Structure 1
């Protein structure tokens, strides 16, 4: 990576920048960190926050940088906890957290092993597959779908809904994307309304039932609040984990020495997962609103202006990480910001880590010689919020299904 010698010409709301369609975003980040860690983007009308120290400071101080005007620029606040400040945020988070306790997450271990093996079984005899379509995308969608009480035959529809609703969060979506998002939201609303009604009268062990019946200090979620938080869980739990699975494997395939180390020493995989999270940084940014006029890192901020916390840039800051452009599965400590920090630290982080650890453990044990089956650059989704690899053809030595050996 060679940093530009002049200020990069970019638009923080253009997804092509994050996908690398307009040059190397890491080079642009490097220039900004070195010269303007807090900078104003004339094209989008937003401030960008590029350095690890500045992003961390903003995350720690919501009284200066608020979430209450929306986590996406220009959209306003939606009625879920990611668009709230304390005390409302903490109150909502305590209720939703009942579905993500360490005990509940750990209890899903055997289920995750079986699920990963079933996905690998579906492709292992062919010796080739599209890694994103066949392995990375199905795992988190099945997990989230099961948690939300979605029938197996409806999983594909849930995936389409999630993709469509996330696409609409990009700036200036096409009319087709807006229409698809509206249709997806209507379908989701019908599903979750029915699920909430059933869980109120007949509780189960799924996440919808937990949210419906959770109570903290006499407070419970209304049906509308269950709808909002379930939608947040659906979108957040699907896309982000999918992109770390695909991006993490792409990094291993590009660095076979690192892949071989994990094949030989699988006990290192949890540490490697942290490096994959740093390396991929699937959530490219989150929006905050300036609470009061102030000068910060040489930038004159005005109350009401919005800024984007650039997590990917922060995770490659050489003022914080040693040799950050090196993919190192043994990197420790690794205090990346892929899950954010502070009061809005990702509620599902332990579930995501568990999914990633189990999937890579099974993949490296069963398909250890996987390699890319294309010489073409891997295409990344041109989105300004959550972005990752769209397709990744791979090949490997055909293997027997795990179900046959049981």
Structure 2
């Protein structure tokens, strides 16, 4: 089915899926998976107690890696991160990290994020005075990394190292079928990350990473489980945000009417962010494994098989969203699934949207003066976003 999947526009493939049955077996994608594309089915699968998020072992097996102590350490860390935990362990660990992303916690860091955006805006406009500037390189990539450095208390971690680690993990998780070289590079990145996060001398005392490592009152079990949550926050707090920011910039630079609408009606910014999350989800799919045989939509699904939950397709389901292929900033988007649903709803969803809001508030007045010169889309099937958005000032009419 996905043999002609187009990374530049997957929505044509989703539209073809909607013309057929609700479940489609694809023998090649992710090593074999059931494609789930209807909104009600994706939503149901996201909260189904008999579907598992544990899939690290499948990635390693597909890559054909020989056993080694480092590989075992890699698997142990990955498998203990919150995103790959099932209940009841997931409930216990999530309760620990939830507090860092509560509404009150976001209000507490609002000003520091705003200051970060102000500094990036100043540096970006200064670069524009001398020639073209890249919105991805100078805004979308550094901002979420700097925010997570502040949140976790990692001021000794160089920004470029943070980005290298996180983007290596993204290449691994975002690839349908990772190969051995990709697995080995990702193994090194995660273990280097854990080495840094396990060194108390490099952590801000009292910061989130320090507390996850040392606070005995937290219901975390063992050093690996503690380190795994810091690693997960470093990665997950970065990727979704940078892709959303780049898609927002690209959309508004390409659509003058939408840009003008937000300039005249800045109160629409939160709704515009939610709508873009629906319209062009930064995370296009997630996966679940069957814990037992099931019959669903007339198909026999076997224990251990993979369900690929197509968030991007569900977010354009015409049964839920009227005119789903239209970008409409006045739409009610309570049903969008970009950040997941149920117990695995994205922990940092509020932080991602706060970052986007603060960026738009400061950058919107600048955008009408900019013109896109070059663009390069990210080439990973699980993600939607841009690696490059080179802009320059528009030529002034003579």
Measured against the shorter chain, the TM-score band is 0.7 to 0.9
Partner of residue 245, structure 1: 245
How do 1:385-404 residues align onto structure 2 when only pairs under 5 Å count? 385-396=382-393
RMSD in angstroms over aligned alpha carbons? 2.5
CA distance in 2, matches of 1:208, 1:361: 30
Instruction: Specify the SS of the correspondent of 1:307.
Output: strand
Match of 1:88 in 2: 89
Larger mean Cα displacement after TM superposition, 177-186 or 85-94: 177-186
Match of 2:160 in 1: 156
Q: Which has the higher helix share?
A: 2
SS in structure 2 at match of 1:125: helix
The one-character-per-residue Cα deviations of 1:326-376 (angstroms, maximum 9, x if unpaired) are: 1122222442101000010011111111111101111103444333124xx
Instruction: Go from structure 1 to structure 2 and tell me whether the alpha carbon gap of 1:291 and 1:182 turns closer, same or farther (over 3 Å shift).
Output: closer
The 3 A distance-change label for structure 1 pair 256 and 299 is farther
Residue 168 of structure 1 aligns to a residue whose secondary structure is: helix
Which shifted more, 70-79 or 229-238?
A: 70-79
Question: Residue 79 of structure 2: SS of its match in structure 1?
Answer: coil
Shift of 1:242: 0.3
CA contact (8 A) 1:214 1:220 kept: no
1:17 aligned partner:
5
Match of 2:387, SS state, is coil
Which has the larger displacement, 267-276 or 382-391? 382-391
Ranges in structure 1 where 5+ consecutive residues have no aligned partner: 1-8, 399-406
Does the 8 Å CA contact 2:59/2:177 hold for their aligned counterparts? no
In the alignment, the residues of structure 2 paired with residue 387 and residue 72 of structure 1 have an alpha-carbon distance, to the nearest angstrom, of 24
Residues 85 and 365 (structure 1 numbering): CA distance in 2 closer, same or farther, change over 3 Å?
same
SS in 1 for 2:316: coil
Cα shift at 1:168:
2.6
Summarize the alignment of residues 1-80 of structure 1 with structure 2, pairs less than 5 Å apart.
Answer: 9-11=1-3, 17=5, 19-20=7-8, 24-43=9-28, 44-63=31-50, 65-70=51-56, 78-80=79-81
Equivalent-residue separation in structure 2 for 1:210 and 1:108 (angstroms): 17
Q: List aligned pairs for 1:3-402, cutoff 5 A.
A: 9-11=1-3, 17=5, 19-20=7-8, 24-43=9-28, 44-63=31-50, 65-70=51-56, 78-127=79-128, 128-151=132-155, 154-169=158-173, 170-173=175-178, 176-195=181-200, 203-204=205-206, 206-212=207-213, 219-374=219-374, 378-396=375-393
> Take 1:153 and 1:93, find their aligned partners in 2: how far apart are those partners?
25
Unaligned runs of 5+ in 2: 62-74
Shift of 1:251: 1.4
Provide TM-score, normalisation by structure 2: 0.86
Q: Which secondary structure does the structure 1 equivalent of 2:377 belong to?
A: coil
Q: 1:183 to 1:74 in 2, by over 3 A?
A: closer
Name the CA shift for 1:182/1:212 in 2 (closer, same or farther; >3 Å): closer
> Could you say what secondary structure the match of 2:329 adopts?
coil
Deviation at 1:221, TM superposition (A): 4.7
Q: How many residues align?
A: 374
**1:197-226 alpha-carbon deviations (Å, 9 max, x no partner):** 676xx842x22134245577x734532112
Shift of 1:244: 0.4
Asked whether the equivalents of residues 70 and 287 of structure 1 are also in contact (C-alpha less than 8 Å), the reply is no
**Cα offsets for 1:302-324 (capped at 9, x unmatched):** 12211111111111111111111
Alpha carbons of 1:18 and 1:155: their partners in 2 closer, same or farther (altered >3 Å)? farther
Distance 1:71 1:344 in 2: 20
